[in-house]
Amino acid sequence: MIKSIIAAKSNNNVIGKENDLVWHMPADLKFFKNTTKGHYVIMGRKTFESMNGPLPNRTHIIITRNPDYQVEGCFVVGDIEKAFQIAQKNQQDEVFILGGAEIYRQTIDKADKMYITEIKSTFDGDAFFPEINTNTWKESKREEYKADEKNPYPYAFVEYLKR
């Protein structure tokens, strides 16, 4: 099973502020939806709570240290390995790690692949993507786009594979 991180980050590695995103980029939301639909998705409790309930057409695995936490229709687990085990047991070829910062930090060494949307601007934030070590990760694909009327910043869809 391929373990894939998916994230959107700014030039200064910001991914969020006050438990929310800091940009509105419909092209990235569309990419995220198309890439993850039909799959199992793993996320920290804070990222789950930053969304308006579960995303349609995806199976959610929420990580929390709170043993009483429950969400109808979602798996809730107490550690990251347990999250991978659930996806593995359900015959998944690829599982997606959706963040946030704490979860990316703890999974970047375990992941096989990363889908990174570069938002080409600098933002103020309080949640950051870890530094991507090019000794460990090799860029395998890059698609660059200009800003347009709907997407206010230039952006790129970049894929990395573990060396």
Ligand X SMILES: NC(=O)c1ccc[n+]([C@@H]2O[C@H](COP(=O)([O-])OP(=O)(O)OC[C@H]3O[C@@H](n4cnc5c(N)ncnc54)[C@H](OP(=O)(O)O)[C@@H]3O)[C@@H](O)[C@H]2O)c1
106/97 Cα distance (integer angstroms)? 11
- Note whether 51 and 19 are within 8 A (CB): no
| Three-state SS sequence of 76-102 | EECCHHHHHHHHHHCCCCEEEECCCHH
Please tell me whether residue 5 binds ligand X under the rule CB under 6 A.
no
Report the site for ligand X in 46-65 (rule: CB under 6 A): 46-47, 50, 63-65
With contacts defined by CB under 6 A, name the span among 34-42, 78-86, 107-115, 147-155 that binds ligand X. Answer: 78-86
Please tell me whether residue 152 binds ligand X under the rule CB under 6 A.
no
Please tell me whether residue 7 binds ligand X under the rule CB under 6 A.
yes
- Per DSSP, the three-state class of 54 is coil
Residue type, 137: W
Nearer to ligand X, 22 or 163 (CB): 22
Helix segments in the chain, DSSP class H: 26-36, 45-50, 80-89, 101-107
Report the site for ligand X in 82-111 (rule: CB under 6 A): 98-103, 106
Nearer to ligand X, 49 or 139 (CB): 49
CA angle 147, 148, 154 (to 5 degrees): 10
Nearer to ligand X, 91 or 153 (CB): 153
Please tell me whether residue 148 binds ligand X under the rule CB under 6 A.
no
Please tell me whether residue 74 binds ligand X under the rule CB under 6 A.
no
Considering the complex, what minimum distance in angstroms separates the CB of residue 70 from ligand X? Answer: 12
Please tell me whether residue 81 binds ligand X under the rule CB under 6 A.
no
